[in-house]
């Protein structure tokens, strides 16, 4: 069984030869949106929530969104071909072939659905902070856009420092998010994550964890905190489709007091109890 499955514009394709136009606006200017979805036992986890967010992302950048039935049948075709393994399903929608400048043409959008291996990260990890702010007031705030070069740069800096993720402040110096995950900190017994108004992506995992914590009687707070709160935190964790309650050990050169701390352990327990057997919560 191949380690990649690809569907492009209507049909499964050979991953070695599948391609899009050199003039695709997703390639030339990063004009597109995407989702990364966990495949477990051959089924996409929380597909409805991911499609809803993708629809919002596309609307934010004025990209025509395909019929949901097309996305679901493409996701099913790729998941079936992927089989009963854990993996990553990536759905990418771009402006399609277009002008070489930033103005969009009138081509049909390009739709790509692909599956690849994914290991869910839950082991303690080290992170860095980066000096480049997330713009919580920008046109792409909260959009899962293919314009991810800022994340590439930040992750490059993290890798050079021997760390695994990079955390951004927003333009007013408050904690925002990491390159591909949401951030939770534990301070004085309270679990806190930045509100969506601070500019982080509305993580599907974040939404689901907030709901499960509330239901378990251990709610987290969505509150603005200055970036310095990271260094006063007793504990912290990263959260995303690929990092399910991943405890943070170090932030820059500060080792946190607890890893995993008690709030992180509770969050992990609540997450697994609520969603380990769920398909489309």
Ligand X SMILES: Cc1ncc(COP(=O)(O)O)c(C=O)c1O
List of residues contacting ligand X (CB under 6 A): 36, 177, 180-182, 200-201, 203-206, 240-241
| CB 281 to ligand X: min, Å | 12
Min CB(208)–ligand X separation in Å: 8
Nearest-angstrom CA–CA distance, 81 and 86? 13
User: 68-82 and 47-60 helices cross at what angle (nearest 10)?
Assistant: 130
Cβ-Cβ contacts under 8 Å for 114 (sequence gap 6 or more): 4, 5, 6, 7, 15, 78, 89, 90, 92
| Residue keyed to tokens 């290991």 | 119
CB of 35: closest distance to ligand X in angstroms?
8
HSE, CB side, 13 Å, CA atoms: give it for residue 104.
Answer: 16
CA dist 259 and 136 (Å) reads 29
Nearest alpha carbon to residue 176 among 125, 222, 243: 222
Min dist. Cβ of residue 100 to ligand X (A): 27
Residue 38 C-beta: closest distance to ligand X, Å = 8
Instruction: Give 203 or 260: the residue with its C-beta nearer to ligand X.
Output: 203
Of 97 and 168, the one with the shorter C-beta distance to ligand X is: 168
Q: Is 22 exposed, middle or buried (0-12, 13-18, 19+ CB in 10 A)?
A: exposed
Compare residues 104 and 206 and give the one whose CB is closer to ligand X: 206
Question: Smallest gap, in angstroms, from Cβ of residue 101 to ligand X?
Answer: 26
Residue closer to ligand X by CB (options 54, 233) is 54
CA distance 246 to 71: 30
Of 79 and 181, which has the nearer Cβ to ligand X? 181
CB of 132 to ligand X, least distance (A): 13
Q: Which is nearer to ligand X, 169 or 204 (CB)?
A: 204
Quick one: which H or E segment has residue 204? helix 204-215
Between residues 53 and 249, which has the closer beta carbon with respect to ligand X? 53
Give least dist CB 227 to ligand X, A.
Answer: 16
Which residue matches tokens 């398909």? 279
Query: 36 or 97, CB closer to ligand X?
Result: 36
Contacts of 172 (CB under 8 A, 6+ apart): 136
**Which is nearest to 238 in space by CA: 173, 152, 167?**
167
């Amino acid at each position: 069984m191949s380690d990649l499955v690809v569907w492009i514009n209507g049909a499964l394709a050979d991953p070695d030869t599948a391609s899009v136009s050199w003039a695709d606006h997703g390639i030339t200017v990063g004009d597109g949106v995407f989702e990364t979805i966990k495949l477990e036992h051959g089924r996409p986890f929380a597909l409805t929530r991911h499609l809803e967010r993708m629809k919002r992302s596309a609307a934010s950048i004025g990209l025509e969104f395909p019929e949901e039935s097309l996305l679901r049948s493409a996701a099913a075709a790729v998941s079936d071909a992927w089989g009963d393994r854990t993996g990553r399903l990536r759905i990418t929608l771009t402006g399609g072939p277009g002008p070489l400048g930033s103005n969009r043409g009138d081509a049909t959008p390009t739709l790509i659905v692909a599956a690849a291996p994914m290991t869910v990260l839950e082991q303690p990890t080290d992170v860095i902070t980066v000096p480049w702010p997330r713009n919580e007031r920008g046109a792409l705030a909260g959009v899962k856009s293919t314009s991810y070069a800022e994340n590439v740069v930040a992750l490059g800096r993290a890798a050079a420092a021997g760390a695994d993720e990079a955390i951004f402040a927003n333009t007013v110096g408050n904690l925002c998010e990491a390159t591909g995950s949401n951030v939770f900190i534990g301070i004085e017994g309270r679990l806190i994550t930045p509100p969506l108004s601070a500019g982080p992506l509305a993580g599907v995992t974040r939404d689901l964890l907030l709901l499960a914590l509330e239901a378990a009687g251990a709610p987290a707070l969505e509150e603005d905190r200055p970036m310095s709160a990271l260094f006063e935190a007793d504990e912290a964790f990263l959260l995303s489709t690929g990092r399910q309650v991943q405890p943070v050990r170090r932030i820059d050169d500060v080792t946190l007091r607890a890893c995993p701390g008690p709030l992180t352990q509770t969050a992990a327990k609540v997450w697994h109890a609520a969603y380990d057997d769920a398909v489309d919560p």
